[in-house]
Structure 1
Amino acid sequence: MAGASLVCLLIGLLFLAVQVRSIFSAQLQQEYIGLVLEAVDRAESARDAVAVLANAAKTANAASAANTANTANTANTATADPNPAPSDAYRLARLELTDRLATLDALVNASPSPAPPLPRSVLSRDANFTAASQSLDAAASYWRAQREAVGAGMRERISGVADTLIVLSAIVFGVLVTALGLYAKRTRQLAGMSHEFEHAALHDAMTGLPNRRRLFAALEATVAAGDNAGKLAVLYIDLDGFKRVNDTQGHRIGDEFLIAVSRRFRESVRTGDVVARIGGDEFAVLVTRFDTDAELSAIAERLIACVAQTDEQMGLGLVRASIGIASFPDRVDDYWRLVAAADETMYEVKRNGKNGFAFAQRMR
């Protein structure tokens, strides 16, 4: 689509260039026609002056002939000239007409486009007035028709340019809208990919649980928000006997167990608590709202039950859980040490028989 739009845009621009050039050419032609018509107007004015003087001369001759008739019975002492000599004004008017016709002929011959020339016979000083007048009328009609034709062509080209600009504007607008749509789509794709990358960086690929990095980020965010009445706890979980599952049943069964127990962990904790897979068969739960150790003990018992239920469902008879619990600020005065304290306590549980939980000793 973008390629087709670009081709249409280039064709439209080429068409515009041709039309604009034609309009400039027509404009020059119009200006030249205007010069010719100005010469025509001057020649017509000179012709009208000659005609007026000729009519005046005829009127004077008619009056002179009447006076001669009234005195015809005299002794013929005087005889009127039937063709009196033309007056000086008439001769000057004919010279003016001849000059105007010569100027008009020069402009016609210099026209950039072919045009009918004036007959050579009407350009001399003794040319027939009637023939000169007819030639002038013909030239006037031709050049006025040319002005109308060129003007109509210019208007048509200007209309074509306007239509083309509208079409090109629509194409450009369409291309811009398409580009913006593609940009928005690409931005959404990149945002989705960024979210996927961020999710992958903060979550365990197999179980979908938050990883160690996400656990510490949640821990810091909870402390920064200050909406937990200043109390936090971490329950560190290790699956007793899980290595024997991988050794005897294979890693596929081991992976299925981890996925199943992770799902049970998520379902057993409260909304707002964070279950994370630390790595291998070790998990941690961040508890953000509690009042007493009894609440933490209840959570630990549910987590141990989750492991036992998963083991029973899969018919393994091998896996149980050891849990260490560390709380801030009751037992640990630095919340960054919660995970480490809970981990150490979990190992104490494992050394003391496994399949149970214990609270960390107070650390100051």
Structure 2
Amino acid sequence: MRVRGWRLGPASVAVAALLCLLFGLLYVAMQIRTVFSDQLKQEYAGLVLEAAGRVDSAREQLAVWQRMVDTPASPAASFVPAYDAARADLTQRFASLAALINASPSPAPPIPAISTSRATPEAVAKALASVSDYWRAQRDAASADVRLRIAHVARTLIALAALLFCMLITALGMYAKRNRQLAGQSHEFEHASLHDSLTGLSNRRKLLAALEAAAKTARTAVYEQRLAVLYIDLDGFKQVNDSFGHRVGDEFLAAVSARFRASVRKGDLVARIGGDEFAVLVRSFSGDEELAEIARRLIACVVATDEHMGIGSVRASVGIASYPDDVDDHRRLVAAADAAMYQVKRDGKNGFAFAAQTGREAAF
């Protein structure tokens, strides 16, 4: 797949997944940092509210002593020391609250300026109410923000996991597709290396491999199994190229190859050795007469192709060699059949002949 000249492959998907992961993790890190900041704000608001609560307790204590001092029936002089101590405690706690608020890491309204040495408990309560309301709202807002950002982080992590899973599946699918394509190309290359490009027949390499495999099967068979190779050379084919051109010559080779393939049995192999030379591997046969009949059919294929194309001069010489009848080594079959074919040519062409026992010494 190409996108404007850029090829999309498993590596590209992996890079895209990595970039998405990095941006996602960066976003998650920023959210977590903000969560920590909001938690600090929430905790600081809690500290302020606790300090405000201690001031309120001191205020209530002062109010109690003030009522006792202001009661006409009570001996006021005896409560003055306790009242002064309560007043001092309130002043100290109020100062601590003011210092805590002033040290807030985020901007916050200062505590209302009142003189605790002269202020009434009601005035202090009013000031504390405004402080408590503000910081309680801050704590609640920070808590809500923490919950919201944690939800964002959770959703982001889920989205990243889903995205990575999808990209992983996509990359695996593309990788599998690429492997199938490479396997198909490998099969095509292997097929091309074992077949003739013009006729589609097997080439010499595949013929020798098939002969080796057939010989191995023959040696391990329960019953004796014989092999044979028929070597075919087209007589007069050079004149076709010279008189009609190579295009007609190629058409003749393709046509006669198709007839050869149709005339032999399904288990036999037809190969083009090169030029105008062919070979047929017969994996099993009953006797020489069966091989002779195959040779006659092959010669008839050449005659029929010649007549169909109106050439009028192409025939065939066929040499036949069998194992273990004519040669005792299957690796000499092709050479023995080739030698028998040349004997046919020397004897006048357009016929067939069997390899003599001297074929045992034929070079491979």
- The answer, yes or no, to whether TM exceeds 0.5 is yes
Displacement of 1:303? 0.9
Aligned to 2:302: 307
Tell me the SS of whatever aligns to 2:110.
coil
Please list the CA deviations of residues 261-294 of structure 1 after superposition, one character each: whole Å capped at 9, or x if unmatched: 0001111111121111000000011111222222
* Farther off after superposition, 86-95 or 23-32: 86-95
Q: Distance between the aligned counterparts of 1:208 and 1:165, measured in 2?
A: 58
1:36-185 paired onto structure 2 within 5 Å: 36-55=48-67, 61=71, 63-64=73-74, 84=77, 86-122=79-115, 124-185=116-177
Q: Does 1:273 align with 2:285?
A: no
Q: Distance between the aligned counterparts of 1:157 and 1:102, measured in 2?
A: 35
Displacement of 1:14? 4.2
Tell me the SS of whatever aligns to 2:325.
coil
Q: What letter corresponds to residue 39 of structure 1 in structure 2?
A: A
Retained in 1: the 8 A contact 2:42–2:140? no
Displacement of 1:350? 1.0
Q: Distance between the aligned counterparts of 1:325 and 1:339, measured in 2?
A: 9
Retained in 1: the 8 A contact 2:336–2:355? yes
Q: Distance between the aligned counterparts of 2:177 and 2:269, measured in 1?
A: 33
Displacement of 1:30? 1.9
* Farther off after superposition, 286-295 or 316-325: 286-295
Change (3 A) 1:297 1:62: farther
Displacement of 1:55? 4.7
> 4+ residue runs of structure 1 moved beyond 6 angstroms?
3-7
Displacement of 1:4? 7.7
1:234-253 paired onto structure 2 within 5 Å: 234-253=229-248
Aligned to 1:23: 35
Displacement of 1:234? 0.8
Q: Distance between the aligned counterparts of 1:355 and 1:56, measured in 2?
A: 145
Structure 2, unmatched stretches of 5+, are 4-12
Aligned to 1:75: none
Q: What letter corresponds to residue 33 of structure 2 in structure 1?
A: R
Aligned to 1:195: 187
Aligned to 2:201: 209
Instruction: Give the alignment's TM-score, normalised by structure 2.
Output: 0.86
Aligned to 1:72: none
Q: Distance between the aligned counterparts of 2:143 and 2:121, measured in 1?
A: 33
Aligned to 1:342: 337
Change (3 A) 1:291 1:45: farther
Q: Distance between the aligned counterparts of 1:99 and 1:273, measured in 2?
A: 112
Tell me the SS of whatever aligns to 1:121.
coil
Retained in 1: the 8 A contact 2:60–2:121? no
Aligned to 1:76: none
Q: Give the RMSD, CA atoms, in angstroms.
A: 2.4
Retained in 1: the 8 A contact 2:225–2:284? no
Q: Distance between the aligned counterparts of 1:171 and 1:129, measured in 2?
A: 62
Q: Distance between the aligned counterparts of 1:189 and 1:350, measured in 2?
A: 48
% identity of equivalent residues = 61
Displacement of 1:112? 1.0
Q: Of the candidates 228, 248, 256, which is equivalent to residue 233 of structure 1?
A: 228
Q: Give the aligned length.
A: 344
Aligned to 1:321: 316
Structure 1, unmatched stretches of 5+, are 65-80
Displacement of 1:57? 5.0
Q: Distance between the aligned counterparts of 2:92 and 2:160, measured in 1?
A: 53
Q: Distance between the aligned counterparts of 1:29 and 1:109, measured in 2?
A: 14
Q: Distance between the aligned counterparts of 1:326 and 1:231, measured in 2?
A: 11
